[in-house]
Chain A
Amino acid sequence: MQPDKFYYDNKIVRDFAIATIVWGIIGMTVGLLIATQLFSPSMNMGNQYTTFGRIRPLHTNAVIFAFVGNAIFMGVYYSLQRLLKARMFSDLLGKIHFWGWQLIIVAAVITLPLGFTTSHEYAELEWPIDIAITIIWVVFGINMFGTIIKRREKHLYVAIWFYIATFVTVAVLHIVNSFELPVSLFKSYYIFAGVQDALVQWWYGHNAVAFFLTTPYLGMMYYFLPKMANRPVYSYRLSILHFWALIFIYIWAGPHHLLYTSLPGWAQSLGVAFSIMLIAPSWGGMINGLLTLRGAWDKVRDDVTLKFMVVALTAYGMATFEGPMLALKGVNAIAHYTDWIVAHVHVGALGWNGFLTFGVLYWLIPRIYKTTLYSKKLASFHFWIGTLGILFYAIPLYWAGFTQGLMWKEFTPEGLLKYPNFLETVLRILPMYVMRSIGGGMYLLGVIVMAFNLVKTMKAGKLISNEAAEALPLVKEQSTSKEFWHRKIERKPMLLLVLSLIVILIGGIVEMLPTFFVSSNIPTIASVKPYSPLELQGRDIYIREGCVNCHSQSIRPFRSETERYGDYSKAGEFVYDHPFLWGSKRTGPDLQREGGKYSNAWHYNHLLDPRTMSPGSIMPAYDWLIDQKLDITTTATKIRAMQTFAVPYADGYANIANQDLDKQAKGIAANLAIDKIKVSSDREIIAIIAYLQRMGTDIKNKPLNK
């Protein structure tokens, strides 16, 4: 039989590689900027578009979906073609995929600083962009499955299973976490509220880590590491076991992000149990990777790409050991809401994702340009400054996390909080924030050096856009009846897809359906009433400004928290919260019981310049809230949207809501006037004060007829 002659498409790989580098530098630069904002509020640059609350999501989205996203596509488009001995299914779909993804990123870069956000972490983009993501993801899927169908290799190597699981799970996660009701072109409400919304979001958030930052990278590891070391993977059996175990267990672990919240206890317990089990398949992957290099450690000494891979795998091992530990309730009680979590994710992001990406880039660019790397010395410099950067980033933040977590919980012998002023615990860790940004700066410098090195490499060589290859075509075999069943799966990509889908759906269904349909899981509270129109508008400003990035709204049932913030949070308090705003980090104090704690005048002055009320505060000033007029044209639509979610506003209330809004706003303005603050009642600051004063107060009002 004659072998087929065909060409691998390297151009699309090169395009994704360049996008990876460019967005990597941009995303990390934004990260460095927000790191400096945490010790120097002037770095918020005095305008609303560059405040921490708005650009922190820009950093996370840029590094996750732009840097890592493009790196995934680079790795998949390169390895898939070679593992299947076929060119990508369609050059056109590849181009649509590439440019579509870049446009989505540009849309994020524009809309996030403008304050268009859904507030769900790592899913902040508003509904039109969500739709675009869905379409482009499907394009990627068609291109991948098209290639699989026209392959010349009968069996699907384990890397491809990871790619298939990634495709199918990300699709499910993205769609379920995007159930939104649009109220305008760039504003929507999630259809779930409170506890349910929190469960959906953290099922998504956790599995974005699993299926965007982990499974595609494991797939890449299983292809590129054997190629770089020129030896097969240590144990193919282990890779199969760890594939199925990983995708099955990961999906259950989301509730560990919600320990000690008002999520039902059984769901929290399931999350903890599966998080602990997760250590086995995660370490299976790490061990398989590291042992692939057995007997080849001499190569690691000379080869910078392998050095990057070794640190990547080590960081993966550390982060996946630490994750289950953080899911233990006792550890979580101290670590949650602190910088410990930030350190944890950055070990994963900088070490695992970053270093694996760099390793692949250094290996792949010279190959598709048919040349050698411009400078090994510079690559080695990148390796060392990057490794040191990770250490300088993570260690101070671990320190900051322990320090602050313990300070929050410390009591005096008399039984009072030792640090009743939250700000005191922030000021203590500012030196650690400075050191962290130095570590981040070193890491970024390494990436810039890499960019220079790779550009020089590209200039020295010439891109082989179409790399010639040949392989025998697939012949249809008579299937032997004695063949082992897993072997059949390896030949049937659609069956693999369906099986992965079933495996990942089990965990989500067991955890979510009871929370949604068994009413005893969310006990309602009679005194909790819907927000007034002004408070609803104020809440949307709170969302727009990204307050949730630094302030939680969930008080855990510990004495240290109820002393500091008030009564612990109950599920029934959040039933009208579309979306939930529990947050995941306390750079500032929890705000769930903020209502009534301070006067309106205090809030006004604090938002105008936080440092007049709390000297040393690192919160940005929000002076534009005083200049900007509240847009009340949207009130009726927003009330109607809430009514479709069965929020009990009276029939026809939407049409008269602005009268109530006006009345409440005038009341607040009059109250401010007593403190000699002159402000018109139609300003945004009035609405956000109304919301802040409402927060967590309903539970204090006893129902009337009792």
Chain B
Amino acid sequence: MFKQFIQSLHGDEVYMLLSLMIFFLFFIAATVALIRMKKSHIEYMSDIPLKSTSSEELN
């Protein structure tokens, strides 16, 4: 199927390469960011919805 994409590009390989590049850079950056994130921070963030501020909240 990949061959089919390449053949249907009509000399516009630049789009294919550009999008692939953007895609990879984007994911590498995101993955690096996530790996470097601190555990305490993650716990803090995921607890935000559970912290009750309301004095009337029923749970």
CB distance from A332 to the nearest CB of B (A): 13
* A88 on interface, CB distance cutoff 8 Å: no
Digit string of A145-161 for contact with B (CB within 8 Å is 1, else 0)? 00000000101011100
CB distance from A370 to the nearest CB of B (A): 7
CB–CB B56/A464 < 8 A: yes
Chain B contacts of A419 at CB under 8 A? Answer: none
CB–CB B30/A245 < 8 A: yes
CB–CB B26/A155 < 8 A: no
CA distance A346 to B55 in the complex (A): 40
Residues B21-43 near A (CB distance < 8 A): 22-23, 26-27, 30-31, 33-34, 36-38, 41-43
Contact of A158 among B18, B19, B45, B56 (CB under 8 A): B45
CB distance from B52 to the nearest CB of A (A): 8
Contact of A370 among B9, B37, B58 (CB under 8 A): B58
CB–CB B56/A468 < 8 A: yes
CB–CB A270/B49 < 8 A: no
CA distance A231 to B47 in the complex (A): 8
CB–CB A244/B26 < 8 A: yes
Chain B contacts of A467 at CB under 8 A? Answer: 54, 56-57
CA distance A237 to B43 in the complex (A): 10
CB–CB B5/A269 < 8 A: yes
Chain A contacts of B48 at CB under 8 A? Answer: 83, 153, 155, 157
CB–CB A470/B53 < 8 A: yes
* A383 on interface, CB distance cutoff 8 Å: no
Residues A365-384 near B (CB distance < 8 A): 366-367, 370
Digit string of A506-533 for contact with B (CB within 8 Å is 1, else 0)? 1000100010000000000000000000
CB–CB A265/B8 < 8 A: yes
CA distance A157 to B49 in the complex (A): 8
Digit string of B1-27 for contact with A (CB within 8 Å is 1, else 0)? 100110011101001101100110011
Contact of B57 among A273, A329, A367 (CB under 8 A): A367
* A559 on interface, CB distance cutoff 8 Å: no
Chain A contacts of B16 at CB under 8 A? Answer: 266, 269-270
Chain B contacts of A237 at CB under 8 A? Answer: 34, 37, 42
Chain A contacts of B57 at CB under 8 A? Answer: 367, 467
Digit string of A468-479 for contact with B (CB within 8 Å is 1, else 0)? 111100000000
CB–CB B15/A232 < 8 A: no
Q: Which residues of B contact A (CB under 8 A)?
A: 1, 4-5, 8-10, 12, 15-16, 18-19, 22-23, 26-27, 30-31, 33-34, 36-38, 41-50, 53-59
Supplied contacts A222-B49, A227-B49, A468-B56, 8 more A-B pairs, CB within 8 Å: A155-B48, A223-B49, A240-B33, A240-B37, A274-B19, A467-B56, A485-B33, A514-B15
